[in-house]
Amino acid sequence: MKLRTIVAISTLFLLSTVARAGIMADLNSMFMSNSTAPGTFTARDRVVIHAGGYSMRTPIHNVNVVAFDPPRLNAGCGGVDLYGGSFSFINGAELIAIFRSVASNAAGLAFKAAIKVISPSLDSLMTEFQTMLQNMNNLAKNSCSLAHLIVDKAERALSDSTDGDGAVGSTAKGIFTDLAAGLKEFNTNAAQYLRKQGEVNPRVGNQVVKAIVSSGSSSVLGVIGLANIDGSADDSSNPNSLNNKVLLSLLGYEIAGIPCRSFNGAGVEDTTSNQSTNNIPRVSCRGGATITLEDFVTGGGPGSSRPDYPLHLYTCLDPTGTAPSSGGFDPQICSQIRVTDFNYQGIEGWINSMLFGSPDDTGVDPASIVGIINSGTSGQFTTAQLQFLHQANYPIIALLQKTSNPEARKSMARRMRVGIRNCVAAQLGSALYRGAAAVGNNNSYVLTDEAKHNIERLRNDFLQRQQSCDHDRSVLEIAQMLNQAAILNGFTNR
């Protein structure tokens, strides 16, 4: 009997659902209310008292009192669309209906106001939940906007060149007489069109280089052993100054929306990425980071512990870009990039050269710090050696003078250089990270996701070196070793 009852109720429910399906569109325009009477009933283990309820639904009208659709022209590679526009305004009968709708909706607004007075926290929760649902609905509905969020940046830059700021700006500046003239030049000579619109379109080109130069962040890289090691003058406005090249090589680059070229270390041009088969030139060039903090620790090239493996930096073949010739303002610097060798002794090579006189520790040069102490002329350090002693922030001289044994001094210097390397690397990493993190300051250029990832990786590398420096125990171990040696010598002399 119970089973038949359940089946019957389910059938009626399904039929009711089908019956309502045809009138769902009309419910939104109807004034509806429902109420339940209060009452009590007794269950097996409790008595239930319910106070009843009341709900009301009022129609909502969406209306524009005045609607205006402006004329527009859309031109592309497939043709031209021209629309003359339209204008409309509401009639009197509809306006009266709107006022009636406003009056009926006022009840709901009064209820919301009452909730806010009685319980502000509940009102805030209701508003937050409503906003969340609205955002979810918008995301589900606006699939076109969602697609634009995930579209490839290079494709977006090219679209901006032909149908965005580039097209509008070049027309406004008089580079092209109108959009149709720009379209005609794009169809006949795409490379020339893209170069011209680039003069008024800062959203295309090499965003990373433009951000580095505009921020001036390379000025913080004045760390001993790095700044101007190539003998050049530091100029934060020059993309090819050493510190700017270091930042670019740490972050990587991407050029999009204008003609570009990239070359490897052998001078061979990369022509495999985004090369079109029609008259559109290559408009997307990119390169990942070529160096890390660890590369600055080990070094590379002649004078380092890896003489056959130089480091690699990016160099702009057009650091000043092309002077705007059509009335624009953006020269689009560094649209041509080449990988070049960079010989750097590294922090390890620098420490060995100061302590022992060569990038390795196979011997002790009499002119090195250990060699000078062995000779007993510790007052004859060079300016570079004095700078090293200050930068290392270690009691190198005091510890080495605790023994007169040359081999013991060499062993102590080898033990100390591990801690010195970590602490100097932490100082260098701090400067590199601060410079890289400041690239986005004072400008509106957009860094690539890869550049942001490389900044975070640099931060992690720097913090690891800092932690190793903070927990270094080499000085304590050397002091204990000297103390034990002194105790043994005391017993031997008895």
Q: Is the dihedral of CA 324, 328, 333, 337 positive or negative?
A: negative
pLDDT tens per residue, the chain (494 residues)? 444 444 444 444 444 444 444 433 444 444 456 677 777 766 555 556 666 666 666 555 555 555 656 666 565 555 556 555 665 655 667 666 666 666 665 666 666 666 666 766 667 666 766 665 565 555 444 444 444 444 456 666 766 676 666 767 777 777 777 767 777 777 777 788 888 888 888 888 999 999 999 998 887 665 444 445 555 667 888 999 888 999 999 999 999 888 999 999 888 988 755 444 446 678 889 999 999 999 999 999 988 888 899 999 999 999 999 888 777 888 999 999 999 999 988 999 999 999 999 887 778 999 999 999 988 776 688 988 998 888 888 888 888 888 888 888 888 888 888 899 999 999 889 989 999 999 988 888 988 889 999 999 999 999 999 999 998 888 777 777 766 655 555 545 55
Give the per-residue pLDDT at 19. Answer: 42
Give the per-residue pLDDT at 193. Answer: 81
Give the per-residue pLDDT at 79. Answer: 59
* H helices present in 265-345, as ranges: 293-298
Domain boundaries, the chain: 153-347, 351-487
Give the per-residue pLDDT at 106. Answer: 62
Give the per-residue pLDDT at 87. Answer: 56
DSSP 212-225: HHHHTGGGG---TT
pLDDT digits (tens, 9 = 90+) for 315-339: 999 999 988 877 788 899 999 999 9
Residue with tokens 């000579």: 189
C-alpha 213: how far from its chain's center?
17
Residues contacting 252, CB < 8 A, separation 6+? 208, 286, 287, 288, 289, 290, 448, 450, 451, 454
The amino acid that residue 410 corresponds to is K
pLDDT digits (tens, 9 = 90+) for 364-389: 999 999 999 988 776 688 988 998 88
Residue with tokens 């006949």: 188
Give the per-residue pLDDT at 376. Answer: 78
Contact 300/311 with Cβ under 8 angstroms?
yes
Contact 337/321 with Cβ under 8 angstroms?
no
Phi, psi of 231 (to 5 degrees): 85, 0
Number of other CB atoms surrounding residue 184 within 10 Å: 15
User: CA triplet 475, 478, 479: central angle to 5 degrees?
Assistant: 85
- Dist. CA 430–CA 433, nearest whole Å: 5
CA neighbor of 166 nearest in space, from 123, 199, 138: 199
- Dist. CA 36–CA 19, nearest whole Å: 24
CA atoms within 13 A on the CB side of 49: 0
CA neighbor of 483 nearest in space, from 395, 402, 412: 402
